[in-house]
Structure 1
Amino acid sequence: MKIKFFSTKRPFILILMFFCLSILSFSQNKFVIQNKKQSDKIKFKLISNLIIIPVEVNGVSLSFLLDTGVSKPIIFNLDTLKIKDTETVFLRGLGNKESVEALKSKNNVFKIGDAIKLNQDLYAIYDSNINFVPRLGFPVHGIIGFDLFKDLVVEINYSKKFLKLTKADAYVYKKCEKCERLNLEFYKNKPYINADVTMNEKKIPVKLLIDSGGSDALWLFEDDSLGIKSGNNYFHDFLGHGLSGSVYGKRSKVKNFSLKNFEFNMANVSYPDSKYIAHAKKIKNRNGSVSGNVLKRFNIIFDYQKAIITLKKNRYFKEEFLYNKSGIELAHSGLRLVKERDDPVKDNNKEGFGNSGSQNATRIIINPRYKLSLKPAYTIVELRENSPAERAGLLVGDLVLSINNKASYKFKLQELIHAFYGNTGKLIKLIVSRNNIILTFEFRLEDLF
């Protein structure tokens, strides 16, 4: 007589296999944390108030801008990245140019620290004119936003420069008496908060997109019916780059901007010209955006599933709101050959060989050696009309060779730009190359407020 033990176990095995496959299938549709803590920390770089995080896409290590203002991830100019299941689509962003052609791709594997998603959709853009690297001076291969935030609780510690990603049902809120918690509203997968601005002694409630992908402090859409207007104290300037081109508008100061009990006096504000934001203004009741130069002043907890955001002041909170007082926008423009002096062979005996006290001691002098090196090149790409730099005679396209007698290639792009945010009256001396002719210009930083 045979005992068939396997007959009773088979249904259990099949059920277990079905259960595991169901979990796997479900987890493919969202980011999951692959560790026991269900939480992970990821270090980031903070460049021009923007968060750059490491992201692995289909096994390739890349750098992405963390942008709460985008729905699906976007990748730029990466022919080497193998993407599949594509279809052609058109994307529209800020700027007044046409929509941008892109390839929509499915079933991509995204990994951020220990967080992984197995079938992520993305948009691949191959327009070489859309490139963040020259403006940031740091490689940025793409943008990611909503798909990460919707699946996990995301803590952004701006002061220590790390993200903490946690499974939503495993997250435990700590008691925080100095925090403010605000409700989030969503429209087309983008988060909005309610805030207040004070203009002409009038406190005006505004609904703002939370835009961690913007480096400014505050953008407001002018609206006379609400009392949102620039007044007379402003200047026209380049405001930024969107998917559909550059954005220009007015820069000014707002008397007061508040997020519940957190208040900022004389914060920077920009009023983009309506022709560059026509797409954004179609969103009902939206009055503008709050971006990196405000967000970085807090350590933030984004909890999309509960639709709340928690703010806590950090060491940047009291930083003065500065702006570019030169009128110059620089960009990284590739590499250039630089003739550098190499370290000369040093004479160990300053008095020469022989008797150290002898006036006739022989000295051996070896001429300095030089080497050619490839160094970063920085070019003027925007020049504000009637700015100190323009009045001095500088032009768009000038290649900056040195600033205040220091070679430009010895600086990172953001360090160079920071010099233009200095004290009013500071002297700036630029040596530039224009059509292979070396020219020198001087001007002083100017406060327009």
Structure 2
Amino acid sequence: MTTLLQRPGADRLARLRTPRWYRLPRWRRLSALLGAGLLLAVMTGEQGNGRDLLYSLLGTLTGARLWLCLGLGVAVWALAELAPRGAAGRVAAVLPRPRLPRAAKPVLVVLGLAVAVLAPLGLSRATNQVLVDWVGIYVLLALGLNVVIGWAGLLDLGFVAFFAIGGYSAAFWTGHLPVKPPFELNPFLVIPVAMLTCLVAGVLLGGPTLRLRGDYLAIVTLGFHEIIYLVAKNAEGLTHGSNGAFGIPHFSVELGPVSYRWKLDPVDYWWLLLALIVLAVVVLRRLQHSKVGRTWAAIREDEIAAAAHGVDTVKYKLMAFAIGASTSGAAGVVYASKVGFVNPENFPLLYSVLVLAYVIFGGMGSLPGVLLGAGLLAWLPHALKDVVDQKDRFMYLGALLVVMMIYRPQGLIPAGGKRVGGNGR
């Protein structure tokens, strides 16, 4: 009896099952890197000319810069794809896998905190301003968003709306909105109140919507951001509209003989943000290894299987939304108190996209990855300020993300354990 391979047309079926060469991952990565090289050539080429809309593009595509950038992309691809890996694998199999001693981890944490505390003392005022306004604020936001997308597997495109709620909470409870509070609070006392407000807002948003998944949930969160933005912009009797709220006081401490008031020095705000980040990391780490954290992991990996085992998925997703939103409230209060002013333009949708990119770049679900990724990418525009035009800095960020997603889609420091996909990603 003839076998299947001996039948007429079997070789044709085998060829149909074999993917075409251009569909192989190696060549798809080459295409992506060539596209990144083209983007790099455009970014570093001639500046635009208002009289000729194609001046910059034509100057880039006809010069040697294009071939240099494409050659750089091919070199990166060749180095990553064609380098011999057998010898490296054999050496890695023979050598013992390095393990960090358990006693060394606290030492590294203490050293890292010492550097974070003392480094601003040797930096310029402008650099410390970037540390506060970008690095510190966005690390705190990324920690909250990591709970939502990294641990619970939910996609939130309007996360900065909670940041705005925190900022306007600071303006309200310090008496700088048209609607006056029942009593005024010190900005330190506004932090827990703003966190509670954002937690309630997360519950109100998630309650009717968390039965949605994937793109549908992302669209709802996007709409939530637009609602908050438009209310802040148009409700002049509530928020001062586009004019914003002025005169928000700085933080101050008055305990008996101890009296200290934060001023315009960014170092004070950096230390305050650092304390909030450390507190958030400690709480979230404990939460990650609790029953709630394990339940979030089960929902992220397979929500249907988790529900089949009796997990109340809506309840735990609601908890993720609320807890993640609360850190944004604290960040909003610190930002509003430092700047002394909030208006709707401080909270555009672009910031939600940036925070999402920071979390993905660092490693979804990984606290060290989120800290490192958010810190590096938030610092990147400042690092490029002397060599790249301000309008082009985010293009470099996009090119870096493209290369990162090609060769390390799990992020800089991936989360431990096997990840088999998630809801809405």
- Larger Rg belongs to: 1
TM-score normalised by length of structure 1: 0.21
Higher relative contact order (CA 8 A, sep 6+): 2
TM-score normalised by length of structure 2: 0.21
